[in-house]
Amino acid sequence: MAISAMDVKRLNREDLFRAVVKRGRAARAELASMLGVSLPTVARLVRELSDMGLVEGAGELPSTGGRKAAAVSAAPDARFAVGVDVTRNHLSMAAVNLKGELKAHERPVLKYEPTDAWREEAGAVARGFMEGAGVAPERCAGVGISLPGIISEDGTELLRSHVLDVRKPARITLPLDPALPQRLFNDASAGCLTELWGQEEPGSFFYLSLSNSVGGALVIDGRMVPGDNQRSGEAGHVCLRPAGTRCYCGKDGHYDLYGSALNLADPAGGRLEDFFERAEAGEKAFERTLSQYLSSLALMCVNLRMLLDCGIVLGGYVGGFLGPHLPRLRARAAALDAFQNNADYLRLARRKMEGAAAGAALHYIEEFIRGV
């Protein structure tokens, strides 16, 4: 396909903006050599981006030649995007800026119901959050909504969710400013978008989302693979114990029963941070629960590793707390492995909290930057 002169200009502008956002502050000469364009071109692109309020002059940087170099810096808060992660009992909301930084987050209680009353209430909560975070609709690139279920390819419908008891396709939009685009995401895929954000060579990995329900997403060569039915990576419904307890999907012994964050949060009165604090303080019952949790997780991870032979990233609510327990988890996984005597392929998600809400928002930041 032929690329028009206009496209080249737009691509240059996008590349320059990405480079400035990433560095925060860069010399014009450096940008010119990095992008392979002339200084006058850089000056023009900077002027265009500056007119859009996305970059500003940033004084001078010392240059090796003695002369000072004119610098430009990003205005990362010129745009935001918002993510809303819907769970059975909560809404987790996150606002991120052009750099992908989390500027505000909240997690109010709101029980999901497939009703207009819930939509109205969730919309009011989201509008209140945006107002409190200083995100005006005209400065918001879009609102991503993350849900624990299967999402249609075009991101408009929740096809099915056992967790939310949605059995037939449901269109979900929130009553927000009509100019704001909205899109639905599977929660694990949204968490995975956060993991992918800003990585230059993400390679291939499996993102295991350990939240109140378990999900996952498969990334091959930097791209998420959705599968034939948008359900690639549904690790929660992999059978770990054939004669085990019944899963909420109606089948027996699925990993969700063992991997759900609720196994840990419930005994601690609903707060995961309390569970880990008490387990780490040596309370016997909590230590035992954690040990059982890690054993199931190790088995699941070894199975994934055996099938996929790639890194496994531990995300979701539980992932944020696993740091101190990673050596023990790795040792258990290694003991189950037929091929290797370590489990260094297991790593923690880069963002420890609000991965799903942030990921749903980052989709719109990426889209905004692509269209700059």
Kindly determine how many residues on this chain lie close enough to bind Zn ion according to the rule CB under 5 A. Answer: 4
Residue of 139, 174, 154 whose CA lies nearest to 365:
139
Nearest approach in angstroms of CB 166 to Zn ion is 15
Q: Between 240 and 336, whose beta carbon lies closer to Zn ion? A: 240
From CA 178, how far away is CA 187, in angstroms rounded? 24
Shortest distance (Å) from residue 69 CB to Zn ion: 59
Least distance between Zn ion and beta carbon 153 (Å): 23
Q: State the minimum distance, in angstroms, from the CB of residue 227 to Zn ion.
A: 17
**Of residues 240-259, those binding Zn ion (CB under 5 A):** 247, 249, 254
Q: Pick from 317, 301, 311: which is nearest to 355 by CA?
A: 317
Residue pair 345/311 in contact (Cβ under 8 Å)? The answer is yes
Residue 219: strand pairing partners: 205, 224
- Cβ proximity to Zn ion, 237 vs 347, nearer residue: 237
Contact 212, 316 (CB under 8 A): no
Pattern 11-50, Zn ion, x by CB under 5 A: ----------------------------------------
Cβ neighbours of residue 9 closer than 8 Å, sequence gap 6 or more:
none
Q: Which stretch binds Zn ion (CB under 5 A): 64-72, 100-108, 223-231, 233-241?
A: 233-241
Burial degree of 8 (CB within 10 A; 0-12, 13-18, 19+): exposed
Chain CA centroid to CA 90, Å: 17
- Paired with 254 in beta bridges are 239
194/232 with CB nearer Zn ion: 232
Instruction: Give the shortest CB-239-to-Zn ion separation in angstroms.
Output: 8
Nearest residue (CB) to Zn ion, 102 versus 249? 249
Kind plus residue range of the DSSP H or E element containing 34: helix 28-35
Select 75 or 249, whichever has its Cβ closest to Zn ion.
249
Q: Identify the residue among 237, 328, 350, 352 touching Zn ion (CB under 5 A).
A: 237
Smallest distance from Zn ion to CB 231, Å: 12
CB–CB of 145/184 below 8 Å?
Answer: yes
**Residue labelled with tokens 């430009």:** 72
| Smaller CB separation from Zn ion, 127 or 237 | 237
AA letter at 195: E
Among the residue ranges 73-81, 216-224, 239-247, 335-343, the one whose residues contact Zn ion (CB under 5 A): 239-247
Q: Which residues bind Zn ion (CB under 5 A)?
A: 237, 247, 249, 254
